[in-house]
Amino acid sequence: MTTSALFTPHTIRSTSFRNRIWVSPLCQYSVDERDGVPTDWHLVHLGSFARGGAGLVMTEATAVTPVGRISPEDTGIWDDDQQAAWARIVDFIHSQGAAAGVQLAHAGRKASTWKEWGPESGTQPEADGGWTMVAPSAIPFTGYGTPHSLTVEEIAETVADFARAARRSIDAGFDVLEIHAAHGYLVHQFLSPLSNERTDAYGGSLENRARVLVEIIRAVRDEVGDDVPLFVRFSATDYAEGGWDREQTATVAAWSRDAGADLFDISTGGLVRDVTIPLSPGYQVPFADFVKRESDVEVNAVGLITEAAQAEEIVASGQADAVMMGREIMRDPHFPLRAAHELGVEIDYFPIQYHRARWRRG
């Protein structure tokens, strides 16, 4: 048996993860009735990753309020029907030995869009089921409609929406909560000076631009108590001059840790179009490593991580405490089982129903 950093269990607060291969939030645009209620698709989609050996299975971006959905076909966690549907999915994830996480999200100016394979792109008009978008400032995302600039009172209500969604998530059985502050969605819009031109307490200085995130973290922590792991997903750079960057990310990660967050899920981009992103295997890992070292926080890495040896090296070298996988684990929901075989690691959670297909050495 080989010792593996990737397959070493990890504990954050009261939750233990059986390994460091975690499933990224993956938008599915598959709600049937535009009511935010996850369906059998979500059960099988997320359940397959748990059956496949992942340590943590994270939901797609799950809206804390109807206007926070990316599209009308996205999931939510603002009412009883959604909570009950999620509880069924969480129960199955747990039955397969994985931890269950929910990404609490608000799309801000990137809300009310057509789904990925819809008839059009950009903002979906109200006549077709869309709604008025909100943002820190009335600055549209390129190709989208102009959002409504949130009032201070509306910001306070949005913070409360995150806290209420966090309570529903815990009541549904989720082990981990993640606040989505990346990819150009609402919290990222507050963080970046390219999308935040406010002149009040929520704009201008870095402290002011980070205020809404810190308020959300504190409100969520107050709501769910000390036992629940709380993650924050950051885009560590806008890839644009004058925008959000890795140094600001590291500073705000430290503030977020002090406010009650535990681990930072480091991605990049999404705030503005027409930027050059240097895509290559593991291209975002250096950003995770930078935030980890500069802020003395736990991080996970994500982005074109596709091979077992690559993932092992990221964790073993200390660049990240875990890896999140998206496209590769969609291609092969049993990637963790295959990775254990490739790395020579014996695990005790290969599904017994599949033992006849288990890889044999020699």
* Residues acting as catalytic residues: 185
| Cα distance between residue 148 and residue 350, in whole Å | 50
| Cα distance between residue 224 and residue 313, in whole Å | 34
Tokens of 330: 């969609």
Residue 61 CA to chain centroid, in angstroms? 6
| Cα distance between residue 284 and residue 181, in whole Å | 16
Residue 240 CB neighbour total at 10 angstroms: 17
70 neighbors 107 (Cβ within 8 angstroms): yes
At residue 2, the 3 state secondary structure works out as coil
Residue labelled with tokens 């036992």: 227
Output the CA torsion 254→325→180→17 (10° steps).
Answer: -70
Cβ-Cβ contacts under 8 Å for 62 (sequence gap 6 or more): 74, 75, 76, 77, 102, 103, 104, 105, 165
Cβ-Cβ contacts under 8 Å for 170 (sequence gap 6 or more): 177, 224, 228
At residue 52, the 3 state secondary structure works out as coil
| Cα distance between residue 219 and residue 203, in whole Å | 20
Report CA-CA distances (Å) from 253 to 34, 239, 331, 335: 34, 19, 32, 30
